[in-house]
Amino acid sequence: MESRMTRPEAENLVQTNHALAIGGLTYALNPRGGTTGFPTLTECPSGYVAVGIHGREGSHVDRLGLLCRYLNADGSFGATYYAGAQGGFGGANCERVCPDGQVIVGFLVRSLNYVNSLNLQCAPPASWVSEGRVQGYSNSMGIGSGYDFNDRCPQSFVVTSLNVRVGDYVDQMQAVCSQLY
């Protein structure tokens, strides 16, 4: 019996590894929650991406800030930064983080007049750029009821800041996504 060995085509031998960087293009998702409260912002520093949230929770999301990590060119993470949490002081301290090696690419939000609860939608940076598929989730922050919204950044965009309206609770949140290239 004759054995045949096939040779891969030349284009299949080329391995493409390109560095990841955060671009200047941004995309704001729809605001969720009410329209009262003081408008403010929680944001990652330049070169950082959101990998989690921190704050306070009860029947609503009482206080909300981003947990950011520096994005290395190879898609791994460097230093950690806690962006200032905004909102009230009720409820209990909490932190929700994407699975290891993943960034926030969207939120599952439940809201009426306030942000009642939210979950993170996560993906590894390089595969989010190439595939645009959510690969991880977090546990919920907050336990309230309301309308459900599935807000996701466009493919190759990741969360880097949140526009929020706050009082005793987080009245409204709007994720802002920055492009990876």
Q: How many domains does the chain contain in total?
A: 1
Q: Please indicate, yes or no, if residue 119 is contained in any of the structural domains.
A: yes
Give the CATH number for residue 148: 2.100.10.30
Full 3-state SS string of 79-138 = EEEECCCEECCCCEEEEEECCCCCEEEEEEEEECCCEEEEEEEEECHHHHHHCCCCCEEC
Q: Please indicate, yes or no, if residue 31 is contained in any of the structural domains.
A: yes
- Rounded to two decimals, the pTM is 0.89
Residue 82 domain boundaries: 19-180
Query: 3-class DSSP state for residue 65?
Result: strand
Q: Give the integer Cα–Cα distance in Å for 31 and 23.
A: 23
Q: Please indicate, yes or no, if residue 2 is contained in any of the structural domains.
A: no
User: Going residue by residue through the chain (181 aa), what tens digit of pLDDT does each one get?
Assistant: 433 333 333 333 223 356 899 988 999 999 999 999 999 999 999 999 999 999 999 999 999 999 999 999 999 999 999 999 999 999 999 999 999 999 999 999 999 999 999 999 999 999 999 999 999 999 999 998 899 999 999 999 999 999 999 999 999 999 999 999 9
